[in-house]
Structure 1
């Protein structure tokens, strides 16, 4: 190894060490927001990065939630449904129905789930997870899941039946999946996604934007998700919905 190599390696280590206090996200997400770019001291580089990607990149939005969580339902009703309906062309939305649940494998290899709001919530998570898997197209499964989350009074089974009828969806395969080994395995994948969060989630709903979660991102998502998506999207022109002023709402979280 030459002296030049040693100097370069030393410089990289020093630079990385200097970022540790503020920059706590992986390098691939340093340009995910102005806040993260600033903390990681790459604002200028990120501006150059945005330029060639602006016309094609959608905003990556992921929601970690659970089916009977009142705070999650409020987020669907007040923020997510209207924002995704208006801005679906610029959002890649991922739904992860698991939340604050816990899983434990029994002797047979089956995963047993314990959910914050009881057994019905575990059933609701499974129904929504199976809907995502079987319906495949988000333009089909998002209205179905959104309908379930908008229903404040019924059990997930009752809400799913009502919403499937409204959406013209064959519910039986979804219900069969929710009680099968396939559904059990699919929900385990939702658990793995949730448990892999960095930083770990502390409450639900929990939002990541372009793979990153910060308290500032969460507060903006809960107050005005449409504005957050519009501000994050670097493409041009922006959708008409981005030119409309939206009101502020309270924040909801469940620990």
Structure 2
């Protein structure tokens, strides 16, 4: 795209060289210069291309959690989901289920129902893009029984998601394999996790990041993003986070 733009500017030079005594490399430095050299449209196209090429990368947020962990559920409801709703264009994030136990056999900290909830949410992520899966998971986590099939069905229906496929997955070999993959990702954390919820920012975890995420994730993402700040970032005020 950039090469094509430069070619267009060179062609214009043939027509306007008698009127424009400014070197081509300076034609797009200002609106007045572009106008005097007759290359307004070409410069507009060039700058648009440059803005696209220089777009700031999204902030990557990952949450390692357990479906029945009170702190995890609180964090999803008070920080992660509200932040995603306001800054979904700025952030990419993933939800990683935290598991305890040997391969294929999972012992969940909050009992067997948590294991059920974990695999249901893992299958939800497997079959749906994050923009579809996360509202469903947030809905289930807002309920005291995210493992309950009726709760899952209600949340899935609310966002037009096929829950029967998710439920089938959660009771299958596929669901068990997906949970094992989540366990491997959790075990690969560096530094190793010592509690949940466990937050990483652009792949990094520190106690400062954890504290800031739990206090005001919106502000943390806004401060980390290197591009032009959206209006939502002006609302990133300090708030208290309580377990």
TM-score, normalised by the number of residues in structure 1: 0.71
Q: Which has the larger radius of gyration?
A: 2
Q: 1:176 aligns with which of 156, 164, 168?
A: 168
Question: Is 1:240 aligned to residue 231 of structure 2?
Answer: yes
Structure 2 match to 1:132? 125
CA deviations on 1:49-104 (whole Å, 9 max, x unpaired) are xxx9862300011000010111111001110111001001010111112x2x3232
Question: Is 1:161 aligned to residue 159 of structure 2?
Answer: no
Question: Which consecutive unaligned segments of at least 5 residues does structure 1 have?
Answer: 1-51, 106-110
In structure 1, C-alpha distance between the alignment counterparts of 2:178 and 2:68, rounded to whole Å: 19
Relative distance call for 1:58 and 1:103 in structure 2 (3 A) is same
In structure 2, C-alpha distance between the alignment counterparts of 1:204 and 1:120, rounded to whole Å: 17
Structure 2 match to 1:89? 89
Structure 1 match to 2:101? 103
* 8 A contact 2:61–2:200 mirrored in 1: yes
In structure 1, C-alpha distance between the alignment counterparts of 2:93 and 2:121, rounded to whole Å: 15
Q: 1:118 aligns with which of 106, 111, 114?
A: 111
* 8 A contact 2:216–2:236 mirrored in 1: no
1:250 CA drift (Å): 2.4
In structure 1, C-alpha distance between the alignment counterparts of 2:82 and 2:146, rounded to whole Å: 22
What are the residue-to-residue correspondences of 1:1-255 with 2, within 5 Å?
A: 55-97=55-97, 99=98, 101-105=99-103, 111-135=104-128, 137-152=129-144, 155-236=147-228, 238-252=229-243
SS of corresponding position for 2:92:
strand
In structure 2, C-alpha distance between the alignment counterparts of 1:246 and 1:123, rounded to whole Å: 37
Aligned length: 192
In structure 2, C-alpha distance between the alignment counterparts of 1:184 and 1:155, rounded to whole Å: 15
Structure 2 match to 1:25? none
In structure 1, C-alpha distance between the alignment counterparts of 2:74 and 2:65, rounded to whole Å: 11
Relative distance call for 1:249 and 1:126 in structure 2 (3 A) is same
Deviates more, 1:59-68 or 1:149-158: 149-158
RMSD: 1.7
In structure 2, C-alpha distance between the alignment counterparts of 1:233 and 1:188, rounded to whole Å: 33
SS of corresponding position for 1:112:
coil
TM-score, normalised by the number of residues in structure 2: 0.75
1:156 CA drift (Å): 4.0
